[in-house]
A and B are shown apart, each in its own frame.
Chain A
Amino acid sequence: MEFNGTLFAQYLILGVTNGALIALIALGYTLVYGIVELINFAHGEVFMMGAFLSLSAVSAFGLVSGAGWAQIALVSLVAMLAAMLFSGALNWSIDRVVYRRLRSAPRLAPLIAAIGISFILQGIGIYWKGSTTILPPNLIPTDIRSVNILTDWLGLETRIRFRALDLAVILLTVPLLIALSWLVYRTRTGKAMRAVAQDRGAAALMGIDVNRTIATAFLVGGILAGAAGFIVAYYTNTARFQMGFRYGLFAFTAAVLGGIGNLNGAVLGGLIIGLVWSMSDGFLQTYIPWWGAQWTPLIIFGVLVLVMVFKPTGLLGEAVPEKV
């Protein structure tokens, strides 16, 4: 089989874009796990609720057809901020109402509670937007959705499709990732988070408000999930109450793959999963004729199993080696 560079580049673009979105959700898992050692299974649903809220926010604006770039950008920004606030507040409330009460309970209790909350949120999702796949309210017209930067703006002769939409995903995601890094490594709040992650008791003795610090982690994780919710809804142009399940599972896998508790690891894991996904859906068949998209979940979770068996700490290890 001849190597097709154009197609390969196309799969790379799709893989990186989807990977960035997975990373954004994975950070929420890893941030919370790093601090309270809880795998917040409701995180995928917090992401879904963020997506739903952003759809409602866009509907509320009632964008007229034929709106220009500026108007679309403005509405997008407002809808995304609304989704971020909502998901952040939701994640914070879940911690306040449920997890905080279970802080000293056996580890299994908050884990089961998280699964329960994820079902509750799915139920609310069905009640809110129905259970079928829904089309988001019209925000980005089809002709703008399909603008290809390489051919339409740069005038290149290529079959590679790098849409303004793909670029927008990267442009929205990367600053969020940087902002999170800055928060965790450059601010007092971040320092407090890292301290609580290392030793909760000692941090409390040093005058750190442990509960507040944990609440902040939930808030920040929720904000990222809300942003991802908006971006995913308009990038894939579809929303469904189950959308949090598969993205959540991929993001969780990404977090474990990179080393759960490790922020850089989550981003790396997200990108790897995004790439494996697009290569398995598309590229592999060039070399393995019987390969098909039905094997994609298998290969992604297969990678997870391999990493767990041979390097249980994940690719980048745990950021806090003191934790056993």
Chain B
Amino acid sequence: MNIRFEHLLGQLERGAIDRRTFIVRAIALGVTGSAVASALSRVGRASAQDESAASIGNPEIPHVEGTEKGVIKIYSSWPSTGSMEGIGVDALEAARLAFADFGNMAGGFAIEYVPLDSGIAANNGGWDPGVESANANQAIADPDAMVYMGTYNSGAAKISIPIMNEAGMAMISFANTYTGLTKEFPGNEAGEPEQYYPTGERNYSRVIAADDIQGALGAQWAVETKGVESAYILDDQSLYGHGVAQVFNDTLLEMGVEVLGFEGYDPRAPDYQALMTKIADAGPDLVYVGATVENNPSKVLLDMRSLMPADEVVFLGPDGLFTQAFIDGAGEAAEGAFLTFAGLPPGELAGPGADFNARMTEILGHTPDAYSTYSYDSAVAVIQAIDQVGEKDRAKILDALMATKDFTSLVGKTWSFTETGDIDNPSMSVNEIVPNDEGELTITFVEAIGS
């Protein structure tokens, strides 16, 4: 019966039957009043969708409907199980929602979204190089595939960008923040970023600010707002964690702040008390931990707080810790920890962003993860690139996507891609983990920083 009801609902949404006929038939189907009410609320949402979809992206690019030209597949690859479930599933649903908002059509093609998972259980759901490489190769081998969305982890992007580059396929990320993927930067490894682009042409873009901005603004905030005079810096030895920590370190040194130590921690070690004893003895004002959530940062914080209480030593972390799983692992020790995020949390958004937040909350049953807004943005950019080209041609779609300009994002900023594929008008915020009205610890927006 549910199927028949869905069918009826579909008729209503398409306008094949009017609302009254719908209600009569629905009652005839034996649907209870509450189901009708929920259906009506979904109809109400359909109009809100249009409003949201219309205002995101570049409004001057007309949306081309119809599916007569065939099918274009959009692949995505990021981890969405285990410790990455909270971030990954939300991002995936956000991309799905974006495609649905455009009717799953673009440039006269039907859009088929193919989300792939790059995580493995043995890595706590985190990404695996073998899986990422297999995903990328699967995408380029599919003649219908035009764009590769992803990755979440910068280390994974290192693997798939060159694969996409040689295949001439566009790649767009909602979450990679490692600077060396696109830009020349003092903290880069040798050969970056050119080594990722063997053909010499750029094919990779990202809708989120890179770590040179996140690390630098985070360091400035720590010094200017928190009055930090000395710091100890740790990282999880991942490409992302070390990269953002390096920028943080360099910025502090430039500002004349004493860095008492800068080292990696073993993400699989079960105990960090000896390490924290050493750090407490050094006596920093702030401990910075460049890490992602699957690399045990909760335990690092737990052991830090047993020796250095929140009112004495500031904890600051980058957006890799910007997720509920980080709080769940640390419990009450998480209170008072500060996190920078290359963007704004969904709860702080107005207009289309607030509408997105409400719709995602309904789909997921919880507030969407902060990255999901960027996943939505990236999917809209893909749709608009295909709308402009109107052909199933990887090279042309690549050019159109890389040339994205005057794009209004869900967070309300309007940006264009630079030559390196970075956004020219980034947003950044500082957030604190504090108890909400129910007394549960949550990530709470403190202030926007930077431009």
Contacts and interface: CB of A to CB of B under 8 A. Distances in A.
A247 B270 CA distance: 7
Given A281-B272, A285-B261, A132 B121 contact: no
A123 B328 CA distance: 21
B82 A292 contact: no
A319 B237 CA distance: 40
Given A7-B277, A132-B328, A135-B330, A232 B122 contact: no
Contacts of A11: 274, 277
A161 B307 CA distance: 10
A126 B121 contact: yes
Contacts of B296: 133, 240
Interface in A106-133: 119, 122-123, 126, 131-133
A188 B49 CA distance: 77
Contacts of A277: 269, 274
B275 interface: yes
Interface stretch (A77-85, A196-204, A293-301): A293-301
Nearest to B237: A294
Nearest to B273: A14
Interface string A231-268: 01000111011110111000000000000000000000
Residue of A133, A232, A243 with highest tally of chain B CB at under 10 A: A133
B137 interface: no
Interface stretch (B298-306, B394-402, B429-437): B298-306
Contact of A285 (B121, B264, B278, B299): B278
Interface in A1-45: 4, 7, 10-11, 14-15, 18
B325 interface: yes
Nearest to B85: A131
Contacts of B263: 292-294
B25 to A, nearest CB: 43
A67 to B, nearest CB: 17
Contact of A236 (B121, B234, B271): B271
B14 interface: no
Contact of A14 (B81, B268, B274): B274
A15 B278 CA distance: 14
Contact of A133 (B265, B299, B332): B299
Contacts of A135: 328-331
Contacts of B81: 131
Contacts of A313: none
A282 interface: yes
Given A246-B268, A294-B264, A131 B328 contact: no
Contact of B298 (A10, A133, A242): A133
Residue of A135, A243, A293 with highest tally of chain B CB at under 10 A: A293
B302 A237 contact: yes
A133 B292 CA distance: 13
Interface residues of A, number: 43
Contacts of B328: 132-135
A294 B268 contact: no
Contacts of A238: 270, 298-299, 302, 329
Contacts of A122: 121-122
A285 B281 CA distance: 12
B419 interface: no
Contacts of A14: 271, 273-274, 277
Contacts of B125: 131
B124 interface: yes
A122 B266 CA distance: 20
Contacts of B277: 7, 10-11, 14, 282
Contact of A282 (B122, B266, B275, B330): B275
Contacts of A119: 122
Task: Describe A's contact surface by its main secondary structure.
Answer: helix
Given A132-B83, A132-B328, A236 B299 contact: yes
Task: Describe B's contact surface by its main secondary structure.
Answer: helix
Given A131-B82, A131-B125, A135-B328, A297 B274 contact: no
A281 B306 contact: no
Interface string B273-297: 1110110010000000000010010
A258 B282 CA distance: 35
A65 to B, nearest CB: 12
A232 B82 contact: no
A241 to B, nearest CB: 8
Interface string B58-97: 0000000000000000000000011100000000000000
A247 B269 CA distance: 8
A58 to B, nearest CB: 14
Contacts of A93: none
A279 B273 CA distance: 11
Contacts of B272: 281, 293
Contacts of B268: 242, 245-246, 297
A251 to B, nearest CB: 11
Nearest to B125: A131
A142 interface: yes
Nearest to B119: A131
A282 B278 contact: yes
A15 B124 CA distance: 27
Nearest to B234: A293
Contacts of A126: 82, 121
A147 B330 CA distance: 20
Nearest to A125: B121
A238 B270 CA distance: 8
Contacts of B332: 142
Nearest to B297: A133
Contacts of B273: 14, 278
Contacts of B293: 132
Contact of B124 (A7, A232, A242): A242
Contacts of B329: 132-135, 238
A297 B266 contact: yes
B270 A246 contact: yes
A266 B329 CA distance: 32
A10 B279 CA distance: 13
- The 6 lowest CB-CB distance pairs between A and B, nearest first, are A292-B263, A294-B264, A133-B329, A131-B82, A278-B274, A281-B274
Given A279-B274, A294-B263, 14 more contacts: A14-B271, A14-B277, A15-B274, A132-B293, A133-B298, A135-B331, A238-B302, A241-B124, A242-B268, A278-B273, A282-B277, A292-B263, A293-B272, A296-B269
12 contacts: A132-B83, A132-B124, A132-B329, A133-B329, A232-B270, A236-B270, A238-B299, A240-B296, A246-B270, A281-B269, A281-B275, A293-B263
